[in-house]
Amino acid sequence: MIISPPLSIKTTVTILLSTTPALARVIDGKAISAQVLDEVREEVLVLAGQQIYPALAVLLVGEDPASEVYVRNKLLRAKDVGIRSLEYRLPETASQAQVLELIAQLNADATVNGILVQLPLPVHIDEGAVIHAIDPIKDVDGFHRENVGGLVQGIEVLTPCTPSGCMRLLHETCGDLSGLHAVVIGRSNIVGKPMATLLLQANCSVSVVHSRSVDAPALCRLADIVVAAVGRPKLIDASWLKPGAVVIDVGINRITDEGGNHLVGDVDYASARTVARAITPVPGGVGPMTIAYLLKNTLIASQLQRAAQAR
């Protein structure tokens, strides 16, 4: 009897690998800002029960179209959360003395908790003089030198709205930031410097990249967190990023290309999404957070003023 060897059975398994890289999660600034506004609204209701009504005064000098839009949005959001808003308009020809006189009146008005001067001001007015004329405890933009110094020292002060909003986005996305390496691109007084300070306070290792930095992309590739605030459209692309980095794009740049006239950030969004773990879009990322934290600062200002009066 002839016994045939067993048949050899080969099974071929084909594994299909996608050539499309996973895209970064979108950090929804609109949704998170809505949470912040809900928090503010709840606190305003509590204060109303105590016969306390926070108020924000907004001063606009001239008729800059972009400033008109910003002021209108701020006033609408204030009304939505129950903060009393006061709008003051001066003509383009208003003198610096007239602006300073109005600020002095608002400083002296105990019913006004926050003062916001919409920038930019006309060229004949010294922005620094106007900003530093605002009572630091009513400076809801957080630009006064006393607030800037207090922030560096870790004292409770009014903090610039955009960096504060960025920090909320990062905490919502990453949780505890301790030990992470953050790179801030840009060193402006409004965003870059206070952003770096807040990240230090959150126990990050922080690097600031600017126009004089040597091999900026290489420095950024070391970062777990990248905050772009440099004002150059689509400067940062995938080649600047470490895989898995979290990207906060503060830039708002209006460009015209084959797709027409539209807003873009400092980050090349389509490119960066192929490498980053999470990223903010433009628009719809950092922008809504800035207004939300302006109103949160108005509440904080109200609390600081009551504490000062109690002392």
Q: What is the mean pLDDT of each run of 10 residues along the chain (311 residues)?
A: 45 44 91 98 96 97 91 95 97 97 98 97 97 98 97 96 98 98 97 98 98 97 98 97 98 87 94 98 96 97 91 80
Q: What is the pLDDT of residue 17?
A: 44
Amino acid letter for position 113: N
175 marked as part of a ligand binding site: no
Pairing of strands 260-264, 181-185: unpaired
pLDDT value, residue 21 = 59
Q: Is 252 annotated as a binding residue?
A: yes
Residue type, 293: Y
pLDDT of residue 311: 80
Tokens of 244: 């898995």
Question: 191 near 160, Cβ under 8 Å?
Answer: yes
Does 190 belong to an annotated binding site? no
Report which residue type is found at 52. Answer: I
Q: Is 248 annotated as a binding residue?
A: no
Active site (catalytic) residues = 74, 118, 141
What pLDDT shows up at residue 257?
A: 82
Give 192's contacts (C-beta < 8 A, 6+ positions apart).
Answer: 184, 185, 186, 208, 210, 229
Residues whose CB is less than 8 angstroms from the CB of residue 292 and which lie 6 or more positions away in sequence, other chains included: 33, 36, 37, 40, 77, 165
* Best CA proximity match to 31, nearest among 308, 281, 295: 281
Do the Cβ atoms of 186 and 229 come closer than 8 Å? yes
Nearest to 160 by CA among 149, 147, 179, 172: 147
pLDDT of residue 98: 98
Q: Is 227 helix (H, G, I), strand (E, B) or coil?
A: strand
* Residue 5 confidence (pLDDT): 47
- Quote the tokens at residue 286: 């950092």
Half-sphere exposure of 302 toward its Cβ, with a 13 Å CA cutoff? 24
What pLDDT, on a 0 to 100 scale, did the predictor assign at position 52?
A: 94
φ, ψ of residue 290 in degrees (nearest 5): -65, -45
**Residue 93 confidence (pLDDT):** 96
Residue 28's pLDDT is: 98
Other CB atoms within a 10 A radius of the CB of residue 244 amount to 11
